[in-house]
Amino acid sequence: MMKVLFVCIHNTCRSVMAETIFNTIAKKWIAESAGVERAEKIDETAKRLLEEEGFAVKKKKPRTIDKIDLEDYDLIIAVCEESCVSIPSKPVERWYIKNPAGKSEEDYKKVLDDIKCRVKKLLEEIE
In the chain, where the domains are located: 2-126
Q: Which CATH superfamily is domain 2-126 in?
A: Response regulator (3.40.50.2300)
Q: Please report which confidence band the pLDDT of residue 89 belongs to, taking 50, 70 and 90 as the band edges.
A: low
Beta-ladder partners of 33:
6
Beta-ladder partners of 93:
77
Sheet holding 2-8, edge to edge: 29-35, 2-8, 75-80, 92-97
| Structure confidence at residue 84 (pLDDT) | 63
> Is the model's pLDDT at 38 over the cut of 70?
yes
High-pLDDT (> 70) share of the chain, %: 94
| Rounded mean pLDDT, 51-56 | 96
Q: Which of 89, 81, 33, 80 is nearest to 61 (CA)?
A: 33
Q: Please report which confidence band the pLDDT of residue 85 belongs to, taking 50, 70 and 90 as the band edges.
A: low
